[in-house]
Amino acid sequence: MNVLTVIGARPQFIKACMLSRALKSYPEVNEIIVHTGQHYDASMSDVFFEQLKLPKPDYYLGIGSGTHALQTGKMLMELEKIMTAVNPDMVVVYGDTNSTLAGSLAASKLHTPIAHIESGLRSFNRKMPEEINRVVTDHLSDWLFCPSRSAAENLKREGMEKQVFVTGDIMYDAVRHFKSFAGQQSTILQELSLSENNYYLATIHRAENTDDPNRLKAILEGLMQLKKRTVLPSHPRTKRKIDEFKLNDIIDTSHIKMVEPLSYFDTLTIASNANVILTDSGGLQKEAYMLQVPCITLRDETEWMETVKTGWNRLAGANKEQIADKVMTCHTPEESPPIFGDGNAAQQIAGILINGDAEN
């Protein structure tokens, strides 16, 4: 059985690592990995393959950056060629990137069954390109693997109830598997002269924030008002936009420490020891919950409303006063319900795909 996996961005490498491990227990499965090159910077790609022991891609497309149409179009052309040559029994896609969309579109045109992992998420904001990617991919897919009950409810409201499986979040598998090992291997706290629970971690990469000079400026000004030092790993796009909008002058390095993108092990270590995480990343919102670190989301809405309802996550948008206020009034909730499953999502997904041995 040929399983073709399409990946292209940091969170997808982490999720694919766990499913690849699970698929190895099925000798009849031959996994073919296609890396689109959507994340092509070595610090956001190569290091993840090395640390996670993810098999090297069988195909590397090297698509790189570009407009959504250009990026997706190039991927479609190359993926169609590969799928036609390989003739896979199924195509596996993850999350909500342009790689996800291209993989699902190419497979559907070739009448190849599609498995969408992290299905059913909705921010209900169609201005987000990720939201379009999620909705289209869900409606094209043959297996819909949901990280939570609320994700399955979203699909039900859109008329999708068959082949919907609530397996828990495959990212939780990775956090449980790698957290202790990351703590032993990573030296990031020493390298940055950080002490446990005495700093904030922030990430900014969504186009809605980075491409809007007013929002980006407001977020940086909000971080500048915080009492503890903030570590800001800089996505390449964020660095470019800070330079383009001439915002470097408002960054006081005694308050905001900008660093290069971090490896997965360093991210786990620095996130688990932070006082508060401030982010516009969907993945880091989840990881904050899994690591039991309070989170402030730098967006006006989130696809992870479960984390908000439990009190671990609070929305601040790009309002500098709200950012400062929500951090100052932040507290650690007493409970953290198991909303993302038991950390065994990969084995469940593999079993369903190969043997169909699960209940909807």
CATH 3.40.50.2000, the chain: domain bounds: 2-169+341-355, 177-328
Q: Of 39 and 252, which is predicted with more confidence?
A: 252
**Using one digit for the tens of pLDDT, what is the confidence trace for 52-110?**
888 889 999 998 878 899 999 999 999 999 999 999 999 999 999 999 999 999 999 99
Q: What is the topology classification, in CATH, of domain 2-169+341-355?
A: Rossmann fold (3.40.50)
**Using one digit for the tens of pLDDT, what is the confidence trace for 123-141?**
999 999 999 999 999 999 9
pLDDT at 3 over 50: yes
Told to judge if 255 belongs to the known catalytic residues of this protein, a careful annotator would answer no
Closest CA to 324 of 196, 189, 230, 242: 230
**Which residue among the candidates 39, 116, 205, 235 is catalytic per the annotation?**
205
Give the pLDDT of residue 65: 79
Q: With bands split at pLDDT 50, 70 and 90, how would you rate the model's confidence at 45?
A: low
Closest CA to 277 of 224, 321, 223: 223
CATH, range 177-328: 3.40.50.2000
pLDDT at 301 over 70: yes
Pick from 62-66, 136-140, 283-287, 351-355: least confident = 62-66
pTM for the whole thing?
0.93
Side chain identity at 115, as an amino acid letter? A
Q: ∠226-172-313 over CA atoms, to 5°?
A: 30
Q: With bands split at pLDDT 50, 70 and 90, how would you rate the model's confidence at 46?
A: confident
- Rounded to an integer, the average pLDDT of 251-267 is 94
